Chain A
């Protein structure tokens, strides 16, 4: 193209007084931004290639680097903003569907930030979690309603299979293929140490990770990649993926360039061939069909594994969840519209789905009104960013949460949102061996453990402040929540009062 419409979005700002030309930035950039000019004994940069992943900034030993937003400005226009114009230029150039990675970055309301928590004062004592026992253990699965006894009057164990979580946070589905072997190992080892679960996503389970199977949730998605008898039977639970918050209604597409070696074997897909997961499950067109798959999987695993059904939060999520709760599933996972992805069409990611806070509140209310809330546990994901988000989600009615993006951040991700390029400088969303090795799982798993232990501690502090000593007493306890700056309708859907009420 003769005319270049794109001025670099980010610029490398190098402080030449501090730069010692050690060339770490050059060696660590998979996008070839930095280079060394021998004649000048200086580093130079090609800003156009920069994705602002911050790898060079983090590794520069003299802190001589920073990345700044370019201030090159098109004539200001509130309707046709710069991003919109650039997207038009891009599509005019290559006529492609715009692709994006990670979660929806657009300025939609974040309801978690408009909800405040309660605390005890005077009339009800708060609890100090450092001095008194505090319980954050959670069980996921279907609750049994009837006590059954044999002829002698002894209790019959009719408990359904459950997942036992030491803390109400699990790692959400990220496939081996979309993320690297080392990222998977970090998640698996962290889940084992923390007493929680990680999720294979639709990529199969690498043979090396069967040893973590007690802490593994395996996924069965529309492409059925990597699904076989051992895969199902080794897992702690099986998740049927109907949808994903980042791209509701859309299937998956792992480019052939990422289907190499072990990824191909683990997925049971030919090397170099794009792995396409269809938008729908071609055998599921109704709740009755879903029920068939739920029971096929239960049958295949001898009724020993809880079955999770994961859906994206969409407009009539409550009615859909009501159907799923009657389908024999033990756990419903709902993924909000800010959930991450390794690649999604930009328009879908940025415009489809609803906020998880509203979806969760309406599903929980609907299931309770119909008297079927105990049929299932609720797990929510889609941008749980901190322990207070976890806390608010549980108070809104969730049994536990899934974190994906937060976990990747712990591993080094800086949300440059270029996963679909496959050249992740942090060794996470890539299959290039020299990039993958940048994530040492010995460091990665420890960082994940640190993060979740810190969150768990914060959750205990917040519970203690309210005088609650068990996470189960918090679940669905919406009286502990108050809205700020929300309208009547929003408060009604969230089922909470406004601050001051």
Chain B
């Protein structure tokens, strides 16, 4: 299955992936309208330390601890993509505690949010991958 991978050798720490992610998960068609004057809560986040940058998002693990720990069945695996049903999520945050990558986060509505590889919003290539200026984020089989 194709997943999002990050090569820190080419990551510039520009944070564009975060904004592309936030835009992809908004209902707007124009990025300026979608993201103007708001604090974004993207599903991919650039970690940085000492000049090393690395964008972290859901690894879509084969045996995901978040899905195992979900008490309501809100997190499920659909064709390898771990998805969240926000109607079922009660915001107990077990998944947040169990994810070793810190890739699940609370959303503004209280329930959790996570990367779903842009499956719900867009077809094909996730927006973080499309918008990466240095091909540091790739979407491929490994």
Contacts and interface: CB of A to CB of B under 8 A. Distances in A.
Contacts of B15: 22-24, 27
A54 to B, nearest CB: 13
A28 B53 CA distance: 14
B35 interface: yes
Contacts of A18: 32, 36
A61 B16 contact: yes
Interface string B127-141: 000010111100000
A61 B31 contact: yes
Q: Which 8 A-B pairs have the closest CB atoms?
A: A18-B32, A20-B35, A62-B32, A22-B19, A440-B134, A440-B10, A62-B31, A24-B14
A176 B35 CA distance: 42
B37 A438 contact: no
Given A18-B32, A24-B15, A437-B12, A61 B20 contact: yes
A28 B134 CA distance: 12
Contacts of A28: 12, 14
B91 interface: no
Contacts of B12: 27-28, 434, 437-438
Interface string A6-23: 000000000001111011
A24 B15 CA distance: 7
Interface of B: 9-10, 12-16, 18-20, 23, 31-32, 35-37, 51, 131, 133-136
B134 A438 contact: yes
Nearest to A15: B32
A307 B19 CA distance: 53
Nearest to B51: A434
A41 interface: yes
Contacts of B19: 20, 22, 24, 61
Given A19-B32, A437-B12, 12 more contacts: A20-B32, A27-B13, A28-B12, A28-B14, A41-B37, A61-B23, A62-B32, A62-B35, A64-B32, A434-B51, A437-B10, A440-B134
A22 B16 contact: yes
Interface in A3-59: 17-20, 22-24, 27-28, 41, 59
A61 B131 contact: yes
A443 interface: yes
A59 B31 contact: no
Interface string A337-373: 0000000000000000000000000000000000000
B31 A20 contact: yes
Nearest to A27: B14
Interface of A: 17-20, 22-24, 27-28, 41, 59, 61-62, 64, 433-434, 437-438, 440, 442-443
A440 B133 CA distance: 9
Nearest to A182: B10
Contacts of A23: 15
29 contacts: A18-B36, A19-B36, A20-B19, A20-B35, A20-B37, A22-B15, A22-B16, A22-B35, A24-B14, A24-B16, A27-B14, A27-B15, A28-B12, A41-B37, A59-B14, A61-B16, A61-B19, A61-B23, A61-B131, A62-B32, A62-B35, A64-B32, A437-B9, A437-B10, A437-B12, A437-B134, A440-B134, A442-B135, A443-B135
A61 B34 CA distance: 12
A452 B98 CA distance: 51
Nearest to B132: A440
Contacts of A434: 12, 51
A24 B19 CA distance: 10
A161 B36 CA distance: 63
Contacts of A41: 37
Contacts of B37: 20, 41
A423 to B, nearest CB: 15
Nearest to B138: A442
Nearest to A22: B19
Nearest to B36: A20
Nearest to A439: B134
